[in-house]
Amino acid sequence: MKKYDFDEIILREGTNSIKYDARERYFEKGDILPLWVADTDFRTPDFISHAVQKRAEHEIYGYTFQPDSYFYAIIGWMERRHNWTVNREWISFSPGVVAGIVFAIETFSKPGDSIIVQPPVYFPFFEVVKGTRRKLVENPLKLVNNRYTFDFDDLKAKIDAGTKLLLLCNPQNPGGMVWSREELEELSAICQEKDILVISDEIHSDLIYTNHRHIPFATLSEDAASNSVICMAPSKTFNVAGLASSVVIIPDRQKHARYERVLSVGHFGMGNLFGSVAMEAAYTHGDQWLEQLLEYLWENYLYLKDFISRHLPRVKVMKPEATYLIWLDFRDYGMSDKKLNKYIVEEAGVGLNNGARFGSGGEGWMRLNTGCPRSVLQEGLERLKTAFDKLESVA
């Protein structure tokens, strides 16, 4: 079995990388260490790059369609990784998970309808609701024993006749929760009873740590399958977000047909030539690489947890059950979000995601990306330690 090197440093400057080349734009400081946006600093796996390079050797990149092998790769991956038997007729395309959510919103609701979002959560959820002129209804998660869970009483109280959709983040971002079957079944029952369609963002579903298992929402029951739209992608898993290719799986035949009609209006269904090649390669050959990645990411988390407990004890770390995104609680410092973010950028020289962007409950938290070589993570943590040691010394 080939051993992959996740300690390798690969310079990304000069590649139009948002994470590196847009630092000045996002942080007003160009020399920060970026541990924020959710892509990784690991080399894209060789089986993907070789497949793309081989296709690129044929120097005509005209109109194409997805071959049978593309669908077989997706179906095989879902079966192997998620114990989910997916029919080819359920599979649709989207250039990205967020785009897939927007297409679903446009398909299954109308302006003025209410959509439930459960903060703190991936911040584009707020943007897609407001941007499509729907009414945003917040059902905040509850923090119990340093883990988020659903607030079902609040959810039921906020549902009315105008509530049409619920956006589910499964696994949860930024907290890293892998929702349990019991949690998902209760959520499904409420949505089924109230005729609320669940749009489930499952982009982090491959990045699950030991002792946890991702449950695709549609696998809960026949009712859940007929009442859900599942959005997945290889982008976070295999670091191919720039290839703009995602999978939308809709088991209900009529709902799938409605989604496809919206997709066809903008001619989105054909997809991206190289993105389709990359997805097929990832889902065909990616198992061993992913197992090695997960082991490395977990070791990164353990390193971070130990470092923070020894050197930044006032910061609380939410234990991730999935994803390479770590949710850090800085509230003990009593700083406003603006001041905290500014201090970390200017004094530590580190770029993190400001927790307030994830909505209510995110105030005083920061999101840190451990999808990087351990030496980079170590440098970032050392910078944070130095900055907060300085803060403690003048307190």
Q: What is the DSSP string of 218-256?
A: GGS-HHHHHTEEEEE-SHHHHT-GGG--EEEE--SHHHH
Q: Between β-strands 325-329 and 365-369, what pairing exists: parallel, antiparallel or unpaired?
A: antiparallel
Residue listed under structure tokens 């109308």: 110
pLDDT tier at 395 (50, 70, 90 boundaries)? low
pLDDT in the model for residue 1? 79
What is the sign, positive or negative, of the torsion defined by CA atoms of 187, 179, 289, 124? positive
pLDDT in the model for residue 393? 80
Q: Between β-strands 197-201 and 163-169, what pairing exists: parallel, antiparallel or unpaired?
A: parallel
> What is the b/e burial string over 291-318, where b = at least 16 CB atoms within 10 angstroms of the residue's CB?
ebbbebbeebbeebeebbeeebeebbbb
Q: Which of 262, 247, 255 is nearest to 224 (CA)?
A: 255
Residue 279 near residue 96, CB atoms below 8 Å:
no
- pTM as predicted: 0.97
Cα separation, 13 vs 167, whole angstroms: 35
pLDDT in the model for residue 281? 98
Cα separation, 83 vs 77, whole angstroms: 9
pLDDT tier at 196 (50, 70, 90 boundaries)? very high
Percent of the chain with pLDDT over 70: 100
User: pLDDT tens-digit profile of 141-184?
Assistant: 999 999 999 999 999 999 999 999 999 999 999 999 999 999 99
**What phi and psi values does residue 116 have, to the nearest 5 degrees?**
-90, 135
Structure tokens, 179: 């929702």
Cα separation, 231 vs 203, whole angstroms: 7
Mean pLDDT estimate for the chain: 97
Q: Between β-strands 114-117 and 246-249, what pairing exists: parallel, antiparallel or unpaired?
A: unpaired
The CA-to-CA distance between both ends of the chain, in Å, stands at: 53
Percent of the chain with pLDDT over 90: 97
Going across the sheet that includes 135-138, the strands are 91-94, 246-249, 228-232, 197-201, 163-169, 114-117, 135-138
pLDDT tier at 269 (50, 70, 90 boundaries)? confident
Report which DSSP code applies to 303: H
| Domains, in order of start, for the chain | 18-45+287-393 (3.90.1150.10), 48-285 (3.40.640.10)
User: pLDDT tens-digit profile of 277-325?
Assistant: 999 999 999 999 999 999 999 999 999 999 999 999 999 999 999 999 9
Is pLDDT at 394 greater than 80 in this prediction?
Answer: no
Going across the sheet that includes 325-329, the strands are 316-317, 325-329, 365-369, 353-354
Is pLDDT at 28 greater than 70 in this prediction?
Answer: yes
pLDDT tier at 392 (50, 70, 90 boundaries)? confident
Cα separation, 354 vs 366, whole angstroms: 5
Burial of 55 (0-12, 13-18, 19+ CB in 10 A): middle
User: pLDDT tens-digit profile of 71-89?
Assistant: 999 999 999 999 999 999 9
Does 120 sit behind a cis peptide bond, omega within 30 degrees of 0 on the bond before it? Answer: yes
pLDDT in the model for residue 57? 98
Q: Between β-strands 325-329 and 316-317, what pairing exists: parallel, antiparallel or unpaired?
A: antiparallel
Cα separation, 104 vs 102, whole angstroms: 5
- Residue 345: CB atoms within 10 A of its CB come to 20
Does 171 sit behind a cis peptide bond, omega within 30 degrees of 0 on the bond before it? Answer: yes
